[in-house]
């Protein structure tokens, strides 16, 4: 093939693939455009590939556009560096106006990545006009994308008039007739405010004026889907003023918070409830403001909408820590918690269970025992598994305050019921909580009350449960130590009833458990207790067990190799012959894994 033909080959191949009738082939071809760019080099990428991709961006499927938009974000090096970054913009300009949301989002992300690498002169010459053009388009899709691009130029515009022009452009979007555009403004305003918070030296009085005007427009929007975005805007504004040390606007900001918390639209109240702790933190320097936020907090806890109650229930401890008055917590907040713990909506109860525990730190121990402890006990007996699971997962703080003994009578029945739940997802969830409980309960309590349960999960009918049970034993060994595993786990596994081991599932699970635990046991224990049983399974009639034995040997050899020459001799005298037999096994898979393990074992011993 001539050199010229070779040079044309990558691009020609890409063109053919992108004309393929099969959409999946075109998607795969698009994923390789970076490789094509490398093959072509910077000059031909700018002069041939980018124009070709611009044509592609005019007419193809959204799946192709999504991949293309994402790939172009990493294209600056392929076009010759930052000084040529502007050549990528025309393709992304088209994609930023796409109707499909994900395409626009990927295009905006890539545009921001490219803009970050552009020199200032190139940015103002090419990127800012692109932003202005998108913001002035007729179609809402382009204007939505424009809202996400302001952050790339915002701090780089030092000229006061240019910054004002930028804000004016942003203001035209916040007053756009299309709710989707106004939503995009509300979503991106906190980003601009946060930039000023992180770089206060760039902030001017004009910026504050525009921020205030834009915020007021968002908070007074008639569309709920726009108005609830004012909550994030408010949080960012409060953080900004706190960092700057301004307090002249704090009353106005609090009034905005109170207004949003009592809004007639439940979606707005939901967002306030979901962010209530963070919102409160912004006003925490003024105790009188916290007092004013208490009433809206209590009203949200009794809101008619279940989703609002669910959101605020998770914020209980977060908000309460700012109250700083145990009398108020006891007489105002605890009664509301009692109601939420018995809410007819199970999602509300589950949410409360995941957010209630830290409240015990705000009251004297006697009051916790008398007023809060009964709520915990009730939730431990809740008929919904998620409620019990969430409470169990948050018991550490409660244990530190009142001690685990008081919880035992309700805790153990709750764990037992969850462990036997008909849904394997629930059983899996309680297994994942066991190591957390183990650290809280201590080894003596665990051995007497929960060790049998942990071993029983090894024989569950669902593979995922058995797998989780093995990992659970590993974690418990890390918590309690290898001696605990030597004394409490392995002997009980080795003394399983012979009738149980007639079942293939029991034998393979036992082997996998040993494989997982071997690395935390001593060479002596492995040699005397584990190895004989594993070698016995090397002759099992089931090939799956035999090749798992082969895979287990290198792990055992790794442990034995640390015990001295006597154990190395044990490897050569016992494990090598067993592996040699497995290397000649009639089953192909067994032979394959045995040969791999033999090689690994020799590498370890050598």
pLDDT single digits (tens) 114-148: 999 999 999 999 999 999 999 999 889 999 999 99
pLDDT in the model for residue 5:
42
Domains 1-117 and 492-605 in one fold: yes
Instruction: Kindly give, in sequence order, each residue whose CB lies less than 8 Å from that of residue 217, ignoring residues fewer than 6 positions away.
Output: 171, 174, 175
Q: Look up the pTM and report it.
A: 0.76
Is-contact 509 458, C-beta < 8 A? Answer: yes
pLDDT at 329 over 60: yes
pLDDT, the chain, mean = 88
pLDDT in the model for residue 60:
67
CATH of domain 1-117: 1.25.10.10
DSSP states of 21-84: S-HHHHHHHHTTHHHHHHHH-HHHIIIIIHHHHHHHHHSS-HHHHHHHHHHGGG-TGGGTSGGG
pLDDT single digits (tens) 331-369: 999 999 999 999 999 999 999 998 888 888 888 988 988
Task: Spell out the alpha helix ranges (H) of 342-423.
Answer: 346-355, 365-367, 373-380, 385-393, 395-402, 405-419
Fold of the domain built from segment(s) 492-605: 1.25.10
3-class SS of residue 586:
coil
pLDDT single digits (tens) 33-54: 888 888 889 998 899 889 888 8
Name the pLDDT band for 21 (thresholds 50, 70, 90): low
pLDDT single digits (tens) 482-541: 889 888 888 888 888 777 778 888 889 989 999 998 888 888 888 888 898 899 899 889
pLDDT in the model for residue 118:
94
In the chain, domain spans = 1-117, 492-605
pLDDT in the model for residue 13:
65
Top-confidence residue, 572 or 273: 273
Top-confidence residue, 570 or 314: 314
């Amino acid at each position: 093939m001539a050199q010229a033909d070779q040079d044309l080959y990558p691009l020609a191949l890409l063109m053919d693939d992108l004309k393929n009738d099969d959409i999946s082939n075109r998607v795969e071809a698009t994923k390789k455009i970076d490789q094509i760019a490398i093959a072509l080099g910077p000059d031909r990428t700018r002069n041939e590939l980018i124009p070709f991709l611009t044509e592609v961006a005019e007419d193809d499927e959204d799946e192709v556009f999504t991949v293309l938009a994402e790939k172009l974000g990493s294209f600056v090096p392929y076009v010759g560096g930052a000084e040529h970054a502007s050549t990528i913009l025309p393709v992304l300009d088209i994609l930023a106006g796409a109707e499909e949301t994900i395409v626009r989002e990927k295009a905006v992300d890539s545009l921001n990545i490219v803009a970050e690498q552009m020199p200032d002169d190139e940015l103002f010459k090419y990127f800012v006009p692109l932003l202005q053009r998108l913001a002035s388009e007729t179609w809402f899709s382009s204007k939505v994308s424009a809202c996400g691009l302001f952050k790339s130029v915002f701090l780089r515009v030092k000229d006061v008039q240019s910054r004002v022009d930028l804000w004016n452009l942003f203001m035209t979007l916040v007053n756009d007739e299309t709710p989707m555009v106004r939503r995009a403004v509300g979503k991106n305003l906190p980003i601009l405010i946060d930039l000023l918070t992180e770089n206060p030296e760039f902030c001017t009085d004009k910026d504050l004026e525009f921020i205030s005007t834009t915020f007021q427009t968002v908070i007074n929007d008639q569309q709920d889907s726009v108005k609830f975005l004012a909550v994030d805007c408010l949080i960012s504004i409060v953080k900004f003023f706190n960092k700057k040390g301004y307090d002249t606007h704090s009353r106005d900001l609090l009034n905005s918070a109170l207004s949003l918390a009592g809004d007639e639209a439940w979606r707005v109240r939901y967002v306030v409830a979901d962010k209530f702790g963070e919102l409160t933190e912004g006003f925490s320097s003024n105790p009188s403001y916290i007092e004013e936020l208490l009433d809206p907090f209590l009203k949200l806890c009794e809101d008619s909408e279940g989703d609002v109650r669910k959101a605020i229930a998770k914020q209980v401890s977060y908000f309460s820590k700012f109250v700083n008055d145990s009398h108020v917590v006891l007489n105002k907040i605890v009664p509301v918690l009692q109601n939420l713990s018995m809410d007819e909506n199970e999602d509300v109860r589950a949410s409360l269970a995941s957010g209630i525990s830290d409240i015990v730190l705000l009251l004297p121990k006697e009051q916790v025992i008398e007023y809060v402890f009964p709520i915990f006990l009730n939730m431990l007996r809740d008929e919904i598994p998620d409620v019990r699971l969430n409470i169990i997962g948050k018991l550490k703080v409660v244990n530190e305050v009142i001690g685990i003994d008081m919880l035992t009578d309700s805790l153990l029945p709750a764990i037992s019921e969850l462990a036997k739940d008909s849904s394997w997802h629930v059983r899996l969830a309680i297994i994942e909580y066991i190591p957390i409980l183990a650290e809280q309960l201590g080894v003596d309590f665990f051995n007497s009350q929960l060790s049998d349960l942990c071993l029983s999960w090894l024989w569950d009918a669902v593979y995922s449960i058995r797998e989780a049970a093995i990992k659970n034993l590993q974690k418990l060994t890390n918590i309690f130590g290898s001696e605990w595993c030597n004394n409490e786990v392995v002997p009980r596994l080795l003394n399983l009833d012979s009738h149980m081991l007639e079942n293939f599932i029991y034998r393979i699970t036992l082997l996998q458990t040993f494989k997982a635990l071997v690395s935390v046991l001593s060479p002596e224990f492995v040699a005397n207790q584990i190895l004989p049983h594993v070698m016995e399974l090397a002759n099992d009639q089931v090939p799956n067990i035999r090749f798992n034995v082969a895979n287990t040997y290198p792990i055992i050899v790794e442990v034995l190799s640390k015990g001295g020459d006597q154990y190395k001799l044990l490897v050569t005298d016992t494990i090598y012959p067993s592996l040699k037999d497995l290397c000649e096994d009639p089953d192909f898979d067994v032979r394959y894994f045995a040969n791999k393990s033999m090689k690994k074992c020799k590498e370890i011993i050598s």
